[in-house]
Amino acid sequence: MRFKSRTPTAVYEGDFTPMIDMTFQLIAFFALLLNFSQVEQNERIQLPSSELAKPNESPLDYPITLQLTREGNVIIGGQEIPPAALRPYLIKEKQLLQSQGRPVADATVIIRAHKDAVAGIVQELIDRCQREGLERFALRAKEDVKQ
């Protein structure tokens, strides 16, 4: 009886190059689209939409972001507080500005209020900021793509 001689088992290696190429392209795509300006955003705040809301051409000089929830609380620096407790935070921002030798009026208060928030509380926020010497405000809205 004759036996076949055993040949060594062949190792089949897949070619990974196209897959890695594609994966790197995908990573580059997502990395470029990663928007760091969304850091100040909060999922709970649904902004009102406006056809005129276009992104700023240049970043604001000294932004202070106040987010107003539907329930009427303010989110500042990751903390949720009632509007009445806003003053210490504004004073801290003022001191920061003054330590940099800049006038308080240089700061811009960005108001990101929920679309169903009460207009009176938005005005109350503006009023509280005015009392601390802040006078530039930016009412934020999302771009209305439907119109």
Partner 1 sequence: MKFRHTTSSGDDKVELQMTPMIDIVFQLLSFFIMTFRIGAQEGDFNVKMPVLAPAAGAASEIALPPIKIRLRADAAGRLTSVQFNDREMPVAGAMRLLREEIIGLIGDDRGPGSIQETAEVELDCDFQLRYEHVIDAVTAVSGYLDREGNIIKLVEKIKFAPPRTGAPASSS
* Site of interaction with partner 1 (CB under 8 A): 16, 20, 23-24, 26-27, 30-31, 33-35, 38, 41, 47-56, 68, 72, 108, 110, 113-124, 126-127, 130-131, 133, 135-145, 147
Block residue for tokens 């209305």 = 144
User: Are 94 and 132 spatial neighbours (Cβ–Cβ below 8 Å)?
Assistant: yes
CB of 2 to partner 1, least distance (A): 29
* CB 121, CB 131: distance < 8 Å: no
Nearest to 76 by CA among 88, 61, 65: 65
Compare residues 1 and 33 and give the one whose CB is closer to partner 1: 33
Q: How far is the CB of 119 from partner 1 (least distance, A)?
A: 4
